[in-house]
Amino acid sequence: MPLVILVILIGIPIIELSLFAEVAEEIGTMNTILLTILTAVIGISLVRQQGLQVMQSLNHTIQQGQDPVKEIIHGVFLFLAGIFLLLPGFMTDTIGALFLIPPVRTFLAGSGTFKVFVKKPMPRDWQHHQTDPEEEKPRTIRETTIIEGQFEEVDQDKDTK
């Protein structure tokens, strides 16, 4: 695993530099720099817009009492898209742009590539508000979790003498 990380940390900058050189040779250095800045600005604005949509969908799903795993995965991909779009380079911008496309995110989430995010289904009582069968009023989890106990202060210096 450390070898893979080392290859990524060395390989990605080398690929990006070679792409910069190729593009700069074709369209000029200043245009290449402006293009890199433009893709970052446009990409981050798209990430923000789609992130707000995912947050609204997440709130709606939670209010309906459904499992929000799909929205969480889309949010993780949007976070990764933002990181890739902020990194200067054409390859990372391409990866970030791909993560902005909802069908691509859905495909990657369903392909098993990112199964690490969801190891087991969430329990049905994950909601913040639960109803006690004996009481009709809803109660929050904070009200139901009570820990009682006693303590005694022990002076370690006194015990060792």
Q: Which domain holds residue 104?
A: 2-122
> Does some domain include residue 7?
yes
> Does some domain include residue 89?
yes
* Rama region for 135: left / alpha / beta (φ>0; ψ in -120 to 50; rest): beta
> Does some domain include residue 152?
no
> Does some domain include residue 157?
no
Name the average pLDDT for the chain: 80
Please report, for the chain, how many H helices and E strands are present, in that order.
7, 2
Entry pTM: 0.64
Q: How confident is the model at residue 109 (pLDDT cuts 50, 70, 90)?
A: confident
Q: How far apart are the C-alpha atoms of 115 and 109, rounded to whole Å?
A: 7
Residue 138 has pLDDT above 70, yes or no: no
Question: Partners of 139 in the beta sheet?
Answer: 130
Residue 129 has pLDDT above 50, yes or no: no
Query: Residue 90, SS3?
Result: helix
- pLDDT of 21 reads 92
User: What's the domain count of the chain?
Assistant: 1
> Does some domain include residue 44?
yes
Q: Do 55 and 76 meet the contact criterion of CB atoms below 8 Å apart? A: no
> Does some domain include residue 155?
no
> Does some domain include residue 131?
no
| Residue 96: count of CB within 10 angstroms of its CB | 26
> Does some domain include residue 22?
yes
Write the pLDDT tens digit of every residue in 33-91.
Answer: 999 899 889 989 999 999 999 999 999 998 888 888 888 889 999 999 999 998 888 99
